[in-house]
Amino acid sequence: MTYTNFTIETDADGIALVTWDMPGKSMNVFTAEVLRELAAVNDAVVKDEAIKGVVFTSGKATFSGGADLSMIKGMFTFQAEEKKKNPETAAQKLFELCGEMTGLFRKIETSGKPWVSAINGTCMGGAFELSLACHGRVASNSKAVKIALPEVKVGIFPGAGGTQRVPRLTNAQDALQMMTTGQTLTPQRAKALGLVHELAAPEALIDAAKAMIKNGLKAVQPWDEKGFKAPGGSMWSAAGAQLWPAASGILRRETYGNYPGALAIVKCVYEGLQVPFDTALKIEQRYFTQILQTTEAFSMIRSLFVSMQELGKGARRPAGVPKSDFKHVGVIGAGFMGASIAYVTAAAGIPVTLIDRDIDAATKGKAHSEGLVKDSVAKGRMTQEKGEQLLALITPSADYADLKTADFVVEAVFEDRKVKKDVIEAVEAVLSPDAIFASNTSTLPITGLAENSKRPAQFIGVHFFSPVEKMMLTEVILGKETGDAALARALDYVAAIKKTPIVVNDTRGFYVNRCVFRYIHEAYDMLIEGVPAVMIENVAKMAGMPVGPLSLNDEVAIDLSQKILKATVADLGEQAVDPAHLELVNKLVDDLDRRGRKNGKGFYDYPEKPAKKHIWAGLKDLYPQKSADELDVQTLKDRFLVTIALEAARTIEEGIVTDPREADVGSILGFGFAPYTGGTLSYIDGMGAKAFVALCEKLALSYGDHFAPTPLLKDMAAKGETFYGRFDPYAKVAAAA
């Protein structure tokens, strides 16, 4: 029999080498077809008496990324349709669907013939669960091998036997740690944990896997042997008594109870280890069915898996513009941002000219990359040779004539209209006619800056976030006259440097900073009301934000907040800002010289290391303090999430953001908006517009008009609409097709 996705070659020893190599895909993923064929492969192996055992590997550079988007999406569509058609049997049907992969892997594991997984590269999720069901696992001793069960990061958990096999191979504590964080393991670490049996040189991988079979590998898993005991001991052992009471407390500390998928892992392991293996798999299947029906799983998978991939693959790229091939990029301004932009560009293999006012400043900008490379080489993340190649791509310069051959130029000079105007003119004087000019301004509208350009159609905003090397998001800002060629080139550039883009129309603060400042301003309101600062910070984290608003404001600098508030007054008038906010930042900056982390004094104090930062004690003297007992934690949590989500809704209403996927992904990647919600708009869709409007109205009564629901939200509430329904991102694609 022939297969589309697999080949089988049986050698003279009767060992079948099953190679997974999906045609037309850069990576192997599980699809319904792959599962069907894998089942057929297993049946064929069982039937063929000449076959003694199987070595399972991948024909790609990576092993497999796990489940395919379409399969996961299919599960949600199936569930939604079943719920409509047959509500009473929908959950049962979903339960059966959830058991398909589990059942197939169990069938392989109990087929009577030994299977060895030969892991040659990245092995994630379902692919590692399949490997765990094999009787032997050999991994290449190579940096290319990364092993993880990362499902928790998208709101679900390893539901194809992972929660049962991992704690039967390693101790429960490491198993919980691995699965509740989704951490990536090196092959060495996987071996140390007992999750991989052997490591082999990449070229000797298949031979090593075959040798396991030839050396008499049993076709029976340890847990199917009589008298099997899990390596971590039972619940009732001393180790168990130490682990289990603490486990849920630790999880609570890390997740504040916001991630049902993570909690389900703890339950699966705890309950599963107390029963025979097949019952344990059923327990996992039940929890998996339950988790798949949660709003968190639905929203997280949509934003963090589906939308992120779609945006990364150019969902917003205008059709018909040829793909850019970057031969030369220019970066102007070798300061804090420009130096990092040059680094990420060179790291993508693109030659960069890094320009500043003089060669010393430009060279200093390149030194930033030298520092990063040195660090990576020292930590073994980069070879010396790769580091040198990267650095050779960055040429510091003070001469604009060097930009003659650039396809794309990013400007990151001072945030000053006059300085930017001079730079735009100087660059355009040498730039080739079809090159694109991008500004990394954080506050100046792109349309206004483009007025300095002779070619506004080729002028665009590309807004990076700091630290550029780590932040995965880039906002692409369209000026009024920005053309398709500029948008396509900007999106191609963002893809080349491996970041996720969102496309935003021009507005003060664009999308991310508009939302971020709502978050910070709500904290100002709370401070002014007398909410203790520590409570503000803790409650924000309980709501799911990674960094408290006061800490965040210290990072971006309080004097920057002051500058932005003052600029807003200058441009839009006094009524555009809350005078109490201005008074607070003026007091901190002008009277107390508390500017944030950069001068060691902000909402926090920053003592010398190893002492940790702590809230500045004087903060409580600025406003009469309320006692924690007077405050309702849920209301404080709601205030943070609602004020940000409302701002996101306004950007949609104003036509600034046009695709809900971008609002959601931008909010999570840009400022870590409570990821379990799936992002700002999914947060609203998740509770329903009606409930959200009611919550806004309640908050507006006590905390101000900025909580008043907008006309769009009221309309959506009245009609029972969602953002993904009303602004369906796929409708445009369908209409165009």
Name the site residues for ligand NAD (rule: CB under 6 A). 332-338, 355-357, 361, 412-415, 419, 422-423, 440-442, 463-464, 466
Kindly tell me which of 294 and 553 has the beta carbon lying closer to ligand NAD.
553
Closest approach of ligand NAD to the CB of residue 444, in Å: 7
Kindly tell me which of 493 and 723 has the beta carbon lying closer to ligand NAD.
493
Closest approach of ligand NAD to the CB of residue 338, in Å: 6
Instruction: Please state, in angstroms and rounded to a whole number, the distance separating the CA atoms of residues 672 and 679.
Output: 9
Q: Which residues of 223-234 are buried (b: 16+ CB within 10 A; e: fewer)?
A: beeeeeebbbbe
The burial class, CB within 10 Å (0-12 / 13-18 / 19+), for 85 is exposed
Q: Which helix (H) or strand (E) element contains residue 18?
A: strand 15-20
Contacts of 31 (CB under 8 A, 6+ apart): 68, 70, 71
Kindly tell me which of 183 and 363 has the beta carbon lying closer to ligand NAD.
363
Q: Which helix (H) or strand (E) element contains residue 139?
A: strand 136-140
Kindly tell me which of 359 and 528 has the beta carbon lying closer to ligand NAD.
359
Closest approach of ligand NAD to the CB of residue 337, in Å: 3
Contacts of 587 (CB under 8 A, 6+ apart): 622
Kindly tell me which of 412 and 644 has the beta carbon lying closer to ligand NAD.
412
Kindly tell me which of 336 and 730 has the beta carbon lying closer to ligand NAD.
336
Q: Which helix (H) or strand (E) element contains residue 119?
A: strand 115-119
Instruction: Please state, in angstroms and rounded to a whole number, the distance separating the CA atoms of residues 281 and 378.
Output: 44
**Edge-to-edge strand ranges of the sheet holding 136-140:** 6-10, 15-20, 53-58, 115-119, 136-140, 198-200
Instruction: Please state, in angstroms and rounded to a whole number, the distance separating the CA atoms of residues 35 and 100.
Output: 9
Q: How many residues does the chain have?
A: 737
**Edge-to-edge strand ranges of the sheet holding 147-148:** 123-124, 147-148, 184-185
Backbone conformation region of residue 613, classed left if phi is above 0, alpha if psi is from -120 to 50, else beta: beta
Contacts of 78 (CB under 8 A, 6+ apart): 93, 94, 97
Closest approach of ligand NAD to the CB of residue 551, in Å: 15
List the one residue out of 395, 389, 441, 436 whose CA is nearest residue 414.
441
Kindly tell me which of 468 and 717 has the beta carbon lying closer to ligand NAD.
468
- Measure the CA angle with vertex 703, ends 702 and 706; round to 5°: 130
Kindly tell me which of 81 and 425 has the beta carbon lying closer to ligand NAD.
425
- Measure the CA angle with vertex 422, ends 419 and 425; round to 5°: 150
Pure H helices in 429-476: 446-450
The one-character DSSP state at 280 is H
Instruction: Please state, in angstroms and rounded to a whole number, the distance separating the CA atoms of residues 360 and 366.
Output: 10
Closest approach of ligand NAD to the CB of residue 511, in Å: 13
329 beta partners: 352, 408
Kindly tell me which of 36 and 364 has the beta carbon lying closer to ligand NAD.
364
HSE (CB half, 13 Å, CA atoms) of 171? Answer: 11
Instruction: Please state, in angstroms and rounded to a whole number, the distance separating the CA atoms of residues 615 and 624.
Output: 16
Closest approach of ligand NAD to the CB of residue 585, in Å: 18
Closest approach of ligand NAD to the CB of residue 459, in Å: 15
From the candidates 197, 328, 368, 463, which is the catalytic residue?
463
Kindly tell me which of 208 and 403 has the beta carbon lying closer to ligand NAD.
403
Kindly tell me which of 332 and 435 has the beta carbon lying closer to ligand NAD.
332
Closest approach of ligand NAD to the CB of residue 547, in Å: 14
The one-character DSSP state at 512 is H
Closest approach of ligand NAD to the CB of residue 419, in Å: 5
- Confirm if 685 and 722 have CB atoms less than 8 A apart: yes
Pure H helices in 499-632: 512-529, 533-542, 549-556, 558-572, 579-586
Instruction: Please state, in angstroms and rounded to a whole number, the distance separating the CA atoms of residues 677 and 668.
Output: 9
Kindly tell me which of 123 and 560 has the beta carbon lying closer to ligand NAD.
560
Instruction: Please state, in angstroms and rounded to a whole number, the distance separating the CA atoms of residues 27 and 313.
Output: 15
One-letter identity of residue 22: M
Instruction: Please state, in angstroms and rounded to a whole number, the distance separating the CA atoms of residues 90 and 80.
Output: 9
Kindly tell me which of 42 and 568 has the beta carbon lying closer to ligand NAD.
568
Closest approach of ligand NAD to the CB of residue 501, in Å: 15
Q: Which pair of structure tokens corresponds to residue 496? A: 């080349």
Closest approach of ligand NAD to the CB of residue 674, in Å: 23
- Catalytic residue at 463? yes
Q: Which pair of structure tokens corresponds to residue 55? A: 């070595």
Closest approach of ligand NAD to the CB of residue 255, in Å: 29
Query: Which residue number places its CB atom closest to ligand NAD?
Result: 335
Q: Which pair of structure tokens corresponds to residue 273? A: 């280890």
Secondary structure (H, E, C), 611-634: CCCEECHHHHHCCCCCCHHHCCHH
Closest approach of ligand NAD to the CB of residue 353, in Å: 12
Catalytic residue numbers? 463
